[in-house]
Chains A and B, each alone.
Chain A
Amino acid sequence: MAAKPIVTSKQREEVVRGVPTEVVCTAFSNSILVVVTQYGKMGTLVSVDPSTITSDISKPSLTTKVLLGTDEPLIHVCAKNLVTFVSQEAGNKPVLLAIALKDKSMEGIKALQELIRSCQVW
């Protein structure tokens, strides 16, 4: 049966600081799925949730939780840096992030942010 997609996805493939990188963003009604991969795989799965208990409603703090993969501090830092703006711009929706990165430098992360922005589905 032919399908009119019920969920919206955008996809980009680019070489970021010498590393071939793929980004896929998919908008669900209750969350955004962001896949950022330099290995072609899902890698580490991180749930990024805007917490509701906050003094400033407009800028809620984000809680990161590793659902699958190595739970190391750098993953949480990368996750927050990569998708905080996605959650905020989507109206404080939770983001499910799949990351498999070769380059975790600050410059790399900044470039990846732009790549994610170019796949805006929220």
Chain B
Amino acid sequence: MEPQQLAEAAGSSRHAPAGISLHDFCGQAGEQLVHFHAMRLRDSLFLWVGAEPALRSLAVAMCSPHDSIPVSTSLLGDASDATSNSLAQRLARKTKKQIFVSYNLQNTDSSFILHIENRIKEEMMAFPEKF
């Protein structure tokens, strides 16, 4: 997106804050270029993370009044891969929103995922209206 379009998109989102907003960004994690696709809905967020455009897993998490750790469940893909789950939980705790995460990278090292999480948080700080 060109800067001018970005500005327009930000402007229109101010007029209609209830509407769904889409936001693409990317980041370098180690050697790898990682793409992000965020869709902000009412009180919820769908976030896709991947290097190629496939949707292989999906988890959802939300805060619970009964537990300090947000509750989460795996909706799609390999249930033994907890990466989407734990990322959704951490973002739910930060944003207090219902969070859908689709994490589609081979690398599931905790340090790598921390890097990914920090990139997401950085973007959330820069474009809070998009999340």
Contacts and interface: CB of A to CB of B under 8 A. Distances in A.
Interface stretch (B51-59, B63-71, B82-90): B51-59
A88 B61 CA distance: 32
B131 interface: no
A35 B27 contact: no
A39 B100 CA distance: 17
A42 B55 contact: no
Interface residues on B, range: 20 to 34
Contacts, number: 87
B42 A40 contact: yes
Contacts of B41: 35, 37, 40-42
A6 B39 contact: no
A47 interface: yes
Contacts of B48: 7, 28
A37 B40 CA distance: 13
B95 interface: no
Interface string B28-51: 100000011101011110101010
A115 to B, nearest CB: 13
Contact of B56 (A1, A30, A47): A30
B113 interface: no
A42 B45 CA distance: 9
B42 A29 contact: no
Interface of B: 1, 18-20, 22, 24-28, 35-37, 39, 41-44, 46, 48, 50, 52-56, 58, 60, 73, 75-76, 98, 100
